[in-house]
């Protein structure tokens, strides 16, 4: 095939062949071509799409936006819930609960939000993984990535709880006497 | 021998600042002893709830001092005051303040939970407290399934479950009809007989006067009357309530 008609050639080597050695020999004999192992090619492709095309920036931007929006939504939900239950928190304070106890209550609510939210998202993701398993560009979800994303969700929800915590730790127990 | 549970000395409480400043309490001297049910009566705005809040370590007075079982609360921060409440004070509120998503037993157990008591023994203590107020059979009921009087009795159980040495009640019968009011006061009066507890009730309700061992009257932030009732009057208090 003429050189100007092809971009890439895939070279398959025998199972017991030394890939690095084959690569060196090919590179020496093909002065106009770049010879890469699978791993090098994968790395180069990833870097190209992530950093040279702008697609990576868009992907990263979307992820950051998702984290910010998600955190704000959880924060607003917890804050509103706390505001709606000020009397209950004042009662807890009146009967002698410590700030630490109330902090645990809010963090438990945040953790429940994280578990529920992550479970729904994981179910959707699992369906997408199955749907795209035979596609040219399948979605991959490794156990490590799943654990990492759950950790990120928990951290997001814990950060989201700060506003609610600020409200309840300043609560005046005398509020219980207000009619 | 009766023991002094709360000693308030020369209590003053100013609310607001500048032109809006109000002297809600002025030179209040008061001691509450175990085994005694004390009523605090007075018109609206006379300082009843403010005094209750000060005695219950919810508000720090601007003058004077409060001692609970010999321990001064002067200079304590919010967390330390919460601990004093946790260890010594049980509250009963006019509108019960039960948690609607918890059962009666869980509401009672909450007072132990905030103290870190979560063992099976805590469960038994909560059951005992509910038995004391005659609501063992309602342990698994949610507040919405209870009458006002029953909810208030659950609140009483929550107040006594931690062996508080002082029970402070704010208008405990105000939201109840005669029958339920009598039931709640009968329970409170029975609990007040315990010499290890002092009971202090703020009220407008003259129907509960026969239950009192002592009646304090407050006006414009000052105690203007302090009357102890005789044993004979106490003996017929239930009949008087009904009339």
Domain count across chain A: 2
What is the overall mean pLDDT for chain B? 91
Give yes or no for B45 touching A (CB within 8 A).
no
B58/A98 CB distance under 8 A: no
Confidence of residue A1 (pLDDT cuts 50, 70, 90): low
Residue A176 and residue A132 in contact, taking contact as beta carbons nearer than 8 Å: no
Test mutation, A84, A87, A94, chain B, max B CBs within 10 A: A94
Distance from B172 to chain A by nearest Cα, in Å? 12
CATH number of the CATH domain containing B161: 3.40.50.300
Looking at A33, A50, A67, the residue that finishes a domain is A50
Asked whether residue A110 falls in the same domain as residue A154, the answer is yes
Residue A78 and residue A161 in contact, taking contact as beta carbons nearer than 8 Å: yes
The three state secondary structure string of A113-125 is HHHHHHHHHHHHH
Q: What is the dihedral of CA B32, B33, B38, B41, to 10 degrees?
A: -10
Q: pLDDT tens-digit profile of A114-146?
A: 999 999 999 999 999 999 988 877 888 899 999
Q: How far apart are CA B174 and CA B238, in angstroms?
A: 18
Full residue range of the structural domain in which residue B171 is found = 36-57+77-242
Give yes or no for B94 touching A (CB within 8 A).
yes
Which ipTM value was assigned to this complex? 0.87
Give yes or no for B201 touching A (CB within 8 A).
no
Chain B contact set for A84 (CB, 8 A): none
Residue of B nearest to A85 (CA): B99
- Enumerate the β-bridge partners of residue B219: B222
- Enumerate the β-bridge partners of residue B226: B216
* Helix, coil or strand: residue B12: strand
Domain count across chain B: 1
Asked whether residue A76 falls in the same domain as residue A26, the answer is no
B82/A174 CB distance under 8 A: no
Asked whether residue A13 falls in the same domain as residue A80, the answer is no
Full residue range of the structural domain in which residue A21 is found = 3-50
Q: pLDDT tens-digit profile of B117-136?
A: 999 999 999 999 999 999 99
Q: How far apart are CA B227 and CA B24, in angstroms?
A: 22
Chain A contact set for B94 (CB, 8 A): 177, 179
A96/B82 CB distance under 8 A: yes
Is B212 a member of any domain?
yes
Among A31, A104, A26, A117, which Cα is nearest to A71's? A117
Is B227 a member of any domain?
yes
In the sheet with B214-219, reading across from the earlier edge strand, the strands are B89-92, B166-170, B198-203, B36-41, B214-219, B222-228
Q: How far apart are CA B63 and CA B57, in angstroms?
A: 14
Going B182 to B184 to B185 to B191, the CA torsion angle's sign is: positive
Is B211 a member of any domain?
yes
Question: How many interchain CB pairs under 8 A, A with B?
Answer: 63
Asked whether residue A10 falls in the same domain as residue A93, the answer is no
Asked whether residue A68 falls in the same domain as residue A151, the answer is yes
Asked whether residue A100 falls in the same domain as residue A125, the answer is yes
pTM of this structure = 0.80
């Amino acid at each position: 095939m003429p050189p100007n008609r092809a971009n890439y050639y895939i070279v398959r080597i025998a199972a017991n062949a030394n890939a690095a050695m084959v690569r060196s020999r090919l590179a020496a004999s093909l002065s106009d071509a770049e010879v890469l192992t699978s791993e090098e090619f994968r790395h180069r492709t990833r870097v190209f799409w992530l950093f040279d095309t702008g697609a990576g920036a868009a992907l990263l931007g979307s992820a950051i936006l998702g984290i910010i929006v998600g955190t704000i939504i959880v924060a607003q939900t917890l804050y509103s819930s706390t505001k709606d239950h000020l009397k209950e928190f004042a009662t807890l304070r009146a009967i002698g609960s410590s700030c630490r106890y109330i902090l645990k209550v809010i963090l438990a609510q945040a953790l429940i939000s994280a578990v529920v939210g992550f479970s729904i998202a994981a179910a959707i993701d699992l369906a997408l993984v199955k749907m795209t398993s035979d596609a040219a560009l399948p979605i991959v979800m490794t156990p490590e990535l799943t654990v990492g994303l759950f950790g990120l969700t928990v951290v997001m929800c814990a950060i989201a709880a700060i506003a609610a915590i600020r409200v309840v730790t300043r609560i005046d127990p005398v509020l219980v006497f207000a009619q | 021998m009766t023991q002094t549970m709360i000693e308030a000395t020369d209590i003053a409480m100013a609310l607001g600042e500048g032109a809006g400043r109000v002297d809600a309490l002025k030179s209040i001297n008061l001691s509450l002893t175990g085994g005694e049910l004390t009523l605090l009566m007075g018109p609206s705005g006379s300082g009843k709830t403010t005094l209750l809040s000060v005695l219950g370590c919810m508000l720090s007075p601007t003058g004077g001092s409060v001692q609970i079982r010999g321990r001064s609360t002067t200079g304590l921060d919010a967390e330390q005051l919460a601990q004093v409440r946790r260890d010594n004070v049980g509250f009963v509120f006019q509108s019960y303040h039960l948690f609607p998503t918890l059962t009666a037993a869980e509401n009672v157990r909450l007072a132990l939970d905030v103290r870190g008591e979560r063992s099976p023994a805590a469960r038994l203590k909560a059951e005992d407290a509910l038995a004391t107020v005659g609501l063992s059979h309602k342990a698994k009921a949610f507040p919405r399934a209870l009458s006002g009087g029953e909810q208030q009795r659950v609140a009483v159980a929550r107040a006594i479950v931690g062996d508080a040495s002082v029970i402070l009640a704010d208008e405990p019968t105000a939201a109840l009809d005669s029958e339920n009011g009598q039931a709640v006061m009968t329970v409170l009066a029975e609990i007040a007989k315990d010499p290890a507890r002092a009971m202090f009730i703020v009220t407008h309700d003259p129907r509960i006067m026969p239950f009192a061992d002592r009646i304090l009257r407050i006006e414009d932030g000052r105690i203007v009357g302090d009357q102890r009732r005789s044993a004979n009057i106490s003996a017929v208090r239930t009949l008087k309530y009904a009339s």
